[in-house]
A = this chain, B = another copy of it.
């Protein structure tokens, strides 16, 4: 079984900033997709902000098992309709991996229900990621910590809901800490946030980072197919009750009427 991953990239700084274009001439999304395609059983393609429907049509999403999201410069340019479409697919069971500055993407804030804010500093300082959950599938094959010599700092408080599990915590040279890898489930969908990946450093060329991305795609993948029933709020009529009951008391709804939404 091949996992169908789509790497969504904003693809702005690669076109407008010489430093970023120098590090990722093919685009960050393409670099990330190439990293995933090194993983056994993963087939990764890309989508970008500039494509029609940002490359995320209903048809495309229906055939996507895991979506990765990198955006930074223009979160507001992503259409609300596409955001809602992605959210629905996550609830149905599509995995979602949110990368770095994607913490402020519409889709992440939509699924977390919180500001998703944090502190930051762009100084090329050293980040050390500690594996605090060493047998979590996302940490497979890693040492107990690994270093990114130059990264942007993100510092707590990171205003997200308490996660299911915390996988990584980062130490920064300038004195901050950050929960750099966390998991949540929303509906049937597995969500993972992974902190590193500032566009002015070659983070997505780092072997440990690439390993995490491959692990995360495998972890987020749900082989059981789309849970489309999650959008429904079905009425169970009295005559269909699992245990025999007799209707009593006053009612708002007539038989067969749908509920209010």
Q: What is the interface of chain A, defined by CB distance below 8 A to chain B?
A: 13, 17, 19-20, 72-76, 87, 91, 93, 101, 104, 110-115, 117-125, 128, 130-135, 137, 140-141, 144-145, 150, 153, 155-159, 161-162, 164-166, 169-177, 179, 184-189, 199-201, 222-224, 227, 229-238, 241-243, 245-253, 259-261
Contact = CB atoms under 8 A, between A and B. Distances in A.
* Chain A interface mostly: loop
A122 B243 contact: no
Contact of A188 (B134, B155, B186): B134
A11 to B, nearest CB: 15
Contacts of A101: 260
Nearest to A188: B135
Given A227-B135, A230-B117, A245-B123, A176 B91 contact: no
B121 A242 contact: no
Contact of A236 (B13, B115, B174, B222): B174
